[in-house]
Amino acid sequence: MPKSFLSRLLASSLLILSTFLGAHAQPIASKGKAGTPFFKDPDMMTIGVYYYPEAWPESQWARDFANMRKLNLEFVHMGEFAWGLYEPEEGKYTLDWLERAVNLAAKAGLKVILCTPSAAPPAWLAENHPEILMVDANGRRMQHGTREQGNWSSPLFRQYVEKINTQLAKRFGNNPAVIGWQIDNELSHYGKQFSYDDFSRARFQAWLKQKYSTIDNLNRDWGNVFWSQLYQNFEQIRIPNEQELVATANPHALLDFQRWFTEEAADYLSFQANTLRQNSQNQWVTTNFMAMHRDVNPSLSSRSLDMITWTVYPVHGDYENSDLGFRLGNGAALGFMHDFARTLNGNEGVMELQPGQVNWGAINPQPLPGAVHMWIMHAFGAGAKLICSYRYRQPLAGSELYHYGFVGTDGVTPLPGGQEYGQAMQEVNQLRKLRKANAKEPAAYSARRTAFLYNFDNRFDLDIHPSTTRWNTMGHLLRYYRALKTLGCPVDVITEDRDFSRYKFLVAPAYQLLDAQLVTRWTKYVQEGGHLVLTARTGQKDRRGHLWEGPWAAPINELIGAKFSPQAFDLLPGERKGKVSAQGKTYEWGSWGESLLPASGTQTLAAYADQFYAGAAAVVSRKLGRGTVTYVGVESLEGDLERDVLRSVYTAAGTPVENFADQFFVEWRDGFWVATNFTSQKQTAPVPANAKIIVGKRELEPAGVTVWQE
């Protein structure tokens, strides 16, 4: 390592480390003034697209904006990677070109979303201050030349981010054409995951000291007597790094580190949001999280952001739910993210939705014609307020030059995806005109509304200790989400801080970490008439990740009306399949199976049909007060057992459900029913004879959409 670099790093550290630890040792709570209006009714949903004026001759900007309006688009998104143009030299700001682009967009009738550029710091910043760059697990400091190489735990990096954000907000914070801001871009370090630099280590140590107060408390909760892992002080603790360890990392250290990392990311977003709000008025603030991404938790930003938006590319060669799944994508994964993001603060949307073929996936197939339109209308049905696509023009150079846009390489020839965006916006405009004031959710639909409990700590812990290569945490959760959607249930994916009593049905899959308070809440919920469904791996550990000193999953034994057999759970190797029987049907399983011993009054809904524990209960249910508790201790291979068990819960509760095909979705929004077909077969929408079909037909081909009004 060059001496000049070491000296710069040391000097920078000495100047700012004390301030850093004093001012930023504690995670900053979200204090944003969320609530700035987004698009008021009757807009319902708006559609726009990414554009990079800096990449094209200025003489073409007006033409491009005009062509966006011809596609019915209502806004344009700009600037997230333009720091090198905003500030070509330190302290020299050149924003006139951006203002000209904003003014031209406004003249064409487009609103504008501007971005903070922290995802792509300029070369001069990395050259002058390499200590702001992240360090990977192998100790290598990243270089300039890509994106997300900045380390948001570096106080110096934050100083530079604050300066450029302040300049942008002062220049555009009162521009009526600019309706909102996006912070950063897909906050992450992508495949590098975490930064292992000294600033991050110091932040992590400070977080641990605040949480545990004394090193003895930490040693106890981390189980550090094992393998002689005891620490004498917090300064000895390093970021857990598998590349530096001979054996596996301490799971409790990993769990705490991932908790810290999500809070650190939320703090970074809150810091940027506050900077923007100090210099702007009547503009909302968001960031684009990545769909299903584990390392950054959107729920921690629900108060500091006005809207929760996210990125998704449904087709990039790694999903097949059917013959056409690789061209249609996973509708359940899309729906889960919509239903999660929507519940956080009431405003959600997709900031990057695929326009066609992409270049960075495993295989990069073409979407099925109509699929792009289907994704947009599926989002409409799920309650999204914004859909934006990356990107308007296909680039001619750079790492994404094979990434489709709305127009081809000549800049004007429409491509199929762009036309489907235009079609969707035209349909939304039609729906705006037909919307009935104060439309009320249909009673039968509302009666089956279900809460789906989701906790990032559980996801962390399950992934740290999967116990079998056949276990997939999100795959397990989506089994239940998919099953609920086949029953026609509207779903709210909620966090623990929400009120369970608002829902007649509550599903909490694989809820591994819990405490007595949560079990008490669940018990009260059921006693007062709720119907609770728990699944395999629930209640095995306390919040620290410790097993209970007592019977297996001790806190939930009384609640579910069963104990676990001495074997507790079994895992089958390779492709081996076990069998479970229920109501004359046989189901196959392989990844996880728990053996239950029902108490008196607890009903066995399914039992194992083979293995040495044949006859043992796999699924049990009991009445408790005015409600019921159902525990599903096995994961079926096809998700059919989960679907049938859930159906039995709703039927026993006297709540009629539907019988839709897996990956066929029917949602209600603002007085409209929306059906989308992610399957490979034709499906029939449940349109009443007296209903008015507004979009599509009663029979939906794959990628088909039907919208009707009763």
| Integer Cα distance of 196 and 683 in angstroms | 50
Q: Which amino acid does the sequence have at 229? A: Q
pLDDT at 40 over 60: no
| pLDDT of the residue at 58 | 98
pLDDT at 24 over 70: no
261-285 mean pLDDT:
96
User: How many other β-carbons are positioned within 10 Å of the β-carbon of residue 65?
Assistant: 22
pLDDT tier for residue 4 given thresholds of 50, 70 and 90 = very low
What are the pLDDT digits (tens) for 652-699? Answer: 999 999 999 999 999 999 999 999 999 999 999 999 999 999 999 999
What are the pLDDT digits (tens) for 177-204? Answer: 999 999 999 999 888 889 999 999 999 9
Q: Give, in order, the Cα–Cα distances in Å from 564 to each of 67, 242, 556, 674.
A: 64, 34, 10, 43
Q: Among 84, 195, 94, which Cα is nearest to 145's?
A: 84
What are the pLDDT digits (tens) for 486-520? Answer: 999 999 999 999 999 999 999 999 999 999 999 99
Instruction: Decide if 507 contacts 452 (C-beta within 8 A).
Output: yes
Q: Give, in order, the Cα–Cα distances in Å from 305 to each of 40, 41, 179, 273.
A: 17, 20, 14, 7
Main-chain dihedrals φ then ψ at residue 509, nearest 5 degrees: -80, 140
| Integer Cα distance of 488 and 506 in angstroms | 15
pLDDT at 124 over 60: yes
pLDDT tier for residue 428 given thresholds of 50, 70 and 90 = very high
103-112 mean pLDDT:
98
Residue 516: both structure tokens together: 């007595």
| pLDDT of the residue at 316 | 87
| Integer Cα distance of 592 and 536 in angstroms | 7
| pLDDT of the residue at 561 | 98
pLDDT at 246 over 50: yes
568-577, Cβ contacts within 8 angstroms, sequence gap of 24 or more: 568/594, 568/595, 569/536, 569/593, 569/594, 569/595, 569/633, 570/594, 570/595, 570/611, 570/613, 571/467, 571/468, 571/470, 572/470, 577/637
Q: Among 336, 206, 186, 343, which Cα is nearest to 263's?
A: 206
Check residue 202 and report its DSSP letter: H
| pLDDT of the residue at 36 | 44
Q: Where are the beta strands (DSSP E) in 14-103?
A: 46-50, 75-78
pLDDT at 605 over 70: yes
Instruction: Decide if 243 contacts 268 (C-beta within 8 A).
Output: no
Instruction: Decide if 179 contacts 140 (C-beta within 8 A).
Output: no
What are the pLDDT digits (tens) for 127-161? Answer: 999 999 999 999 999 999 888 899 999 999 999 99
| Integer Cα distance of 288 and 310 in angstroms | 4
pLDDT tier for residue 331 given thresholds of 50, 70 and 90 = very high
Per the prediction, the chain carries an average pLDDT of 93
Cβ contacts of 36 within 8 Å, gap of 6 or more = 282, 283, 284, 285, 306
pLDDT at 8 over 70: no
Main-chain dihedrals φ then ψ at residue 278, nearest 5 degrees: -65, -20
pLDDT tier for residue 19 given thresholds of 50, 70 and 90 = very low
| pLDDT of the residue at 14 | 39
What are the pLDDT digits (tens) for 618-633? Answer: 999 999 999 999 999 9
What are the pLDDT digits (tens) for 551-596? Answer: 999 999 999 999 999 999 999 999 999 999 999 999 999 999 999 9
72-100 mean pLDDT:
97
Higher pLDDT, 300 or 9: 300
| Integer Cα distance of 96 and 313 in angstroms | 33
pTM of the model: 0.93
| pLDDT of the residue at 322 | 73
pLDDT tier for residue 3 given thresholds of 50, 70 and 90 = very low
pLDDT at 227 over 70: yes
What are the pLDDT digits (tens) for 649-664? Answer: 999 999 999 999 999 9
pLDDT at 41 over 50: no
Q: Which residues make beta-bridge pairs with 628? A: 531, 623
| Integer Cα distance of 148 and 265 in angstroms | 13
pLDDT tier for residue 318 given thresholds of 50, 70 and 90 = low
